[in-house]
């Protein structure tokens, strides 16, 4: 509602030992990332399923982790392009392969130095990008303000237009003959249509086929002042300058510094019966039960996954002990 101003089950926690921490975090991160990537993957074109034989117990899991890692990294690399950073995934794959093989072409010190330098460079690029966006926004806001000023100057010359001391502009469209007008502390019921100076509509109670109730002290200043000029049954057109509307800040679809045009019809003052809410479509009981069952299954699967992660970590730890002869 653009005319309004802003008014005033337990989580299961896994506590791994120090030796398990890295493994558990690694597997958990992979599993969480898999869940997060489901929506993105569903948007991709249908892929041809490749039949691969996985012999080891965790070979398929390992492969899935690799696929998920590449998907997540690919998304990250794509987002970096916005800042002019191009990362070659083939070279990344080469680095991963060399790292696992233990024959990396860079020392640990060189890796750390390169990552620090990259982060510094990326921060600089992001700051430059942000500054560019802010400059563009400032330029757009200035243009919006200038266009609004010009519109109001022209509007003031139209027949029947009046301007209040605050700068609110209005003209009477229809008069009912009533002498009942609201005070600032009243609640009113109105129909309205809001447009930009180019005539583009951004909100309308007429479109929703439902008037709205609101306290006059809870809306933008242009409305608080303007509606008090009306009598019940009247219809006015208001042209509201930025400082009587939303000022310099963007508000949803309304750009900062916008001059707004409202057609307002005052229907009632202090309505005794609230406007009934728009009825929500009823949810089929069977569908509701299915949703609840699915939620329970997901919760059980999540608990089972957590237990599996711990078991995998313990098995790996035992294998390491056996291989090294470390019983401590």
- CATH code, 175: 3.10.50.40
Report pLDDT digits (tens) over 11-28: 333 333 333 333 333 444
Share of the chain above pLDDT 90, in %: 60
pLDDT band for 297, please (50, 70, 90 cuts).
Answer: confident
- Evaluate if residue 199 carries a pLDDT over 90: yes
Decide if 308 is inside a domain: no
Joined tokens for residue 112: 């750390």
Q: What is the residue range of 244's domain?
A: 160-269
d(CA 262, CA 222): 10
The residue-averaged pLDDT of 202-208 equals 96
Q: Read out DSSP for 72-118?
A: HHHHHHHHHGGGT----HHHHHHHHHHHHHT--SS-HHHHHHHHHHH
CA 246 to chain centre: 21
- Evaluate if residue 53 carries a pLDDT over 90: no
**Mapping DSSP to helix (H, G, I), strand (E, B) and coil, where does residue 296 land?**
helix
Decide if 147 is inside a domain: no
Cβ neighbors of 96 (< 8 A, separation 6 or more) are none
d(CA 161, CA 224): 19
Give the pLDDT confidence score for residue 280 in this predicted structure.
Answer: 54
Decide if 212 is inside a domain: yes
Least confident of 226-230, 260-264, 277-281, 311-315: 277-281
Decide if 234 is inside a domain: yes
Decide if 224 is inside a domain: yes
Decide if 278 is inside a domain: no
Which residues are bridge partners to 188 per DSSP? 214, 269
Decide if 80 is inside a domain: no
Decide if 82 is inside a domain: no
Least confident of 127-136, 203-212, 242-251, 285-294: 285-294
The residue-averaged pLDDT of 46-54 equals 63
Report pLDDT digits (tens) over 151-167: 999 999 999 999 999 99
- The larger pLDDT score, comparing residue 288 to residue 34, is at 288
pLDDT band for 293, please (50, 70, 90 cuts).
Answer: confident
DSSP state of 249: S
Number of domain units in the chain? 1
What are the Cα distances from residue 39, in Å, to 33, 34, 70?
11, 10, 16
Report pLDDT digits (tens) over 104-138: 999 999 999 999 999 999 999 999 999 999 999 99
pTM for this prediction? 0.57
Which residues are bridge partners to 265 per DSSP? 191, 235
């Amino acid at each position: 509602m653009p005319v309004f101003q802003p008014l005033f089950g337990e989580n299961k926690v896994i506590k791994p030992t120090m030796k398990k921490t890295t493994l558990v975090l690694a597997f958990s991160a992979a599993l969480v990332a898999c869940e997060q990537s489901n929506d993105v993957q569903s948007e991709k074109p249908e892929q041809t399923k490749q039949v691969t034989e996985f012999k080891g117990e965790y070979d398929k899991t390992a492969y899935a982790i690799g696929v998920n890692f590449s998907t997540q990294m690919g998304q990250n690399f794509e987002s970096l392009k916005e800042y002019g950073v191009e990362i070659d995934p083939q070279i990344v794959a080469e680095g991963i392969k060399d790292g696992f093989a233990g024959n990396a072409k860079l020392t640990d010190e060189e890796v750390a130095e390169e990552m620090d330098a990259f982060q510094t460079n990326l921060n600089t690029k992001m700051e430059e990008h942000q500054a560019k966006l802010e400059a563009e926004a400032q330029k757009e806001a200035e243009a919006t303000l200038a266009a609004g000023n010009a519109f109001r100057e022209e509007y003031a010359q139209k027949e029947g237009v009046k301007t209040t001391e605050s700068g609110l502009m209005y003209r009477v469209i229809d008069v009912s003959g009533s002498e009942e007008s609201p005070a600032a502390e009243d609640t009113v019921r109105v129909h309205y249509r809001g447009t930009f100076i180019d005539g583009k509509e951004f909100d309308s109670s007429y479109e929703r086929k439902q008037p709205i109730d609101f306290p006059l002290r809870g809306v933008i200043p242009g409305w608080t002042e303007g509606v008090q000029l009306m009598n019940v049954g009247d219809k006015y057109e208001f042209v509201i300058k930025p400082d009587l509307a939303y000022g310099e800040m963007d508000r949803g679809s309304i750009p900062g510094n916008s001059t707004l045009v409202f057609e307002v019809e005052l229907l009632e003052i202090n309505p005794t019966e609230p406007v009934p809410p728009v009825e929500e479509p009823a949810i089929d009981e069977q569908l509701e039960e299915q949703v609840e069952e699915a939620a329970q299954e997901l919760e059980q699967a999540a608990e089972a996954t957590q237990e599996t992660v711990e078991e995998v970590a313990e098995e790996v730890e035992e294998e390491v002990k056996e291989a090294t002869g470390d019983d401590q």
